[in-house]
A and B are shown apart, each in its own frame.
Chain A
Amino acid sequence: MPESADTNRLPRSMARLDAWANRLFGSRYNPLYQSGTIVVVLWLLLLVTGLWLLLYYRVGAPWRSVAGIAENPWIGGWIRGAHRYGSDAAVVATAVHALRMFLQRRTWGPRTLAWVSGVVLLGVVLVSGWTGFVMVWDWFGRELAVGGARLLDLLPLFSEPIARAFAGDRPVGNAFFFINLFLHVALPLGLGAVFWLHVSRLQRPLLLPPRALGWSVVVAMIALAVVIPAPLPPEADPYRVPSAIPADWFYGFWLPAVDWFGPGSVWAGFALGTIGLILVPWLTRPKVADRPAPSRVDSQLCTGCQQCALDCPFEAITMVTRTDGRAELVARIDPARCVGCGICAASCAPMGVGPEGRTGRDQLRAVEALIDSGRVTGRVVAFGCDRGAAALGVALAVREVEMLAVPCVGNVHTSAIEFLVRAGARLVLVLGCPPRDCWNREGPRWLDERVHHDREAELKARVDRRRVAIAEVDPLDSAAALALMDRLIRERNLDPPVAADRRPALDLECEPVPVEEDR
């Protein structure tokens, strides 16, 4: 089994925050894990409330029409408030999502497209928000319009400065508000196309959070809008310079910089920020030698069952026609899409696929070595994810727990678990990450289905289920992991030492498929 690597883990501060949120909300509803899907919920909320607001908005009298909406306490004010706070929360959720992906290094290789399209999505969200605030044409809207115009005026595109349009010597034309309105509707709809790109390399992308969490987000936005109604500053007046303007900092964070440092500096900041973000996949990718090896297929062993292709979270496996004369299909790996998670290795009953050194057979050899060393019988053996629970190895060793680090719990082949149980392990613990925070997306899910729901390659019925447990643990909380272990041993009555039924013989278990017989 590969050694755990500290570089794969979240910084301690983030891990602590995760643990806190897990305790408060449970890992299934942890908003930090669900930040990406929360953005989608907020986007839907913005579409619905936006459609309602659209019915009442007038390009000929922008501020007055918005004021009319805001004054209606029943079906106006809170809808506008939910629209506004929803857009603010979308920026926060996007930032949290991006930060998590960055800290978890889920940015490079097959994830490059998702990262880069995510940067584009963020840009579209900010521009879309800009158009929305300008539409209101209050003090803040005018400030945003002038700030944006000053940025555009720096480009050698326009003979007449755009900022002149807001100087006050002539009224701002309806056409300006119409274009704004058009963009404010078109950009969010266009987000859908970029969003498709964002998830296009994922199999079974999770677009929505659990229903309870999704509705909680919607209700929270509405409640916030009712308790703290969204502010509406006075109508824009080019003949006044207010000493303070209530501003939405989520979308207007750059405005003070235009005044302090000039539009050129703001452009430079935006350009550097964008280039820096887009380069993240290339800046964060490990050296070639440190990258996990992609999976390989042993076509002699592949029976064409398609389970690995079904289980791969990144659509890196396709089934193609064989060229060796056998009738069935054979799996083919696209190394450019493979993240080397090894989930396919555990999906393959004949153990014919997986990254080098981490196939089912390799795992059995490692288990065999452990059994030979006498560290299995009567003891607890734990599999821990490299990115999480494997960090508990030292703490658990004090209680003579053997920790086997794996790149993902989805990589643990059920035969390895069976071997350990049959060799007399008191308890085999598989300590994974929360399913929604799995680096490889679906590792804990497939593991659970293989152990408890007969998904290929399933844990055989003959295995004593009392001696197998799957759990999520906080990688910083060894006490909780030990307490969990003690509780399982006590509750499952695993105290008496167990005797090995026999030492499993790897050669017998893993006879290569006799190719000739298949023909």
Chain B
Amino acid sequence: MIRAVRGIVGGLVVAAGGVATAWLSAAPIRPVLGGRAVVRLVWSGRPERIDECRRLTDAELEAVPAHMRLRVKCEGRTVPYALRVVVGDREVFLDTLRGGGARHDRPIHLFQDIALDPGEHRVRITVERLDSAAAAVTADSLPIEGTNAVGGREGREAEERARARREALPPRLVLDQRLRIEAGAVVLVRYDPDRKALWFDPGG
């Protein structure tokens, strides 16, 4: 092949490679939710905890190493919740929410995108406790006068249990509202722990 022709063809090959590289460097991908209207459920909340507390006898307490002694021993579980999203009169999402972690004793973290057609919709979101047992708040779970050993730990434990109860999700949350969402827009559904209510956050 003549040298000049070789040079030209070689240059064209390199240029074609460059153009292909540039094209693949910016070729569009189309996200599954692309162009839809999205309701994004994104909140965290501590699930309600059902504790069963009892006072240890003196003999039981003796069997425990000194630095681990607590008069009130509590064992419990966190409750699951049913999450239901209805748009218009159509149920679009149903799930069971559990606390995070292997023992489900951590807060519930929710991150779920729900795609809708753009426009106005009535959106109804409910979160309901599935466990019918009520949280046990008995005298057993309270510290006893004079047993508050190890630097007031029993008091702190009781306070912590009370705080967890205060912060827990209520047995039922409902957000029922008409919503207008444009194509490509995302509306967040968030949880306000002070008001213990869900709310729409259109951003911006």
Interface size on B, residues (CB 8 A): 46
The answer to the question of A183 belonging to the interface, with a C-beta cut-off of 8 Å to chain B, is: no
Cα A228 to Cα B14 with chains together (Å) = 14
**Which B positions have Cβ atoms within 8 angstroms of A?**
1, 6, 9-10, 13-14, 18-19, 21-22, 24-36, 38, 40, 42-44, 100-102, 106-107, 109, 111, 183-188, 190, 201-204
B203: chain A residues within 8 A (beta carbon): 168, 238-239
What is the 8 Å Cβ interface bit string for chain A, positions 132-165, against chain B (1 contact, 0 not)?
0000000000010000000000001001110110
Say how far A411's CB is from chain B's closest CB, in angstroms: 32
Judge whether A228 and B109 touch: CB under 8 Å. Answer: no
Cα A491 to Cα B19 with chains together (Å) = 44
Judge whether A143 and B109 touch: CB under 8 Å. Answer: no
Judge whether A160 and B109 touch: CB under 8 Å. Answer: yes
Say how far B132's CB is from chain A's closest CB, in angstroms: 27
Judge whether A239 and B27 touch: CB under 8 Å. Answer: no
A255: chain B residues within 8 A (beta carbon): 29
Q: Using a Cβ cutoff of 8 Å, how many contacts connect chains A and B?
A: 128
Judge whether A167 and B30 touch: CB under 8 Å. Answer: no
Judge whether B26 and A246 touch: CB under 8 Å. Answer: yes
B42: chain A residues within 8 A (beta carbon): 164, 167-169
Say how far A214's CB is from chain B's closest CB, in angstroms: 14
From the candidates B34, B100, B101, B201, name the one contacting A242 in the complex (CB within 8 A): B34
What is the 8 Å Cβ interface bit string for chain A, positions 232-273, against chain B (1 contact, 0 not)?
000000111111111111101001100110000000000000
The answer to the question of A223 belonging to the interface, with a C-beta cut-off of 8 Å to chain B, is: yes
B21: chain A residues within 8 A (beta carbon): 85, 88-89, 92, 224
The answer to the question of A436 belonging to the interface, with a C-beta cut-off of 8 Å to chain B, is: no
- By secondary structure, the B interface counts as mixed
From the candidates A169, A238, A245, A259, name the one contacting B28 in the complex (CB within 8 A): A245
Judge whether B190 and A241 touch: CB under 8 Å. Answer: no
Judge whether A169 and B6 touch: CB under 8 Å. Answer: no
Which chain A residue has the least Cβ–Cβ distance from B109? Answer: A160
The answer to the question of A53 belonging to the interface, with a C-beta cut-off of 8 Å to chain B, is: no
Say how far B45's CB is from chain A's closest CB, in angstroms: 12
B25: chain A residues within 8 A (beta carbon): 84-85, 88, 230-231, 248-250
The answer to the question of A487 belonging to the interface, with a C-beta cut-off of 8 Å to chain B, is: no
Known: A24-B9, A85-B21, A224-B18. A241 touches B34 (CB 8 A): yes
Cα A246 to Cα B186 with chains together (Å) = 20
The answer to the question of A25 belonging to the interface, with a C-beta cut-off of 8 Å to chain B, is: yes
Judge whether A249 and B27 touch: CB under 8 Å. Answer: yes
A224: chain B residues within 8 A (beta carbon): 18, 21-22
Cα A364 to Cα B13 with chains together (Å) = 46
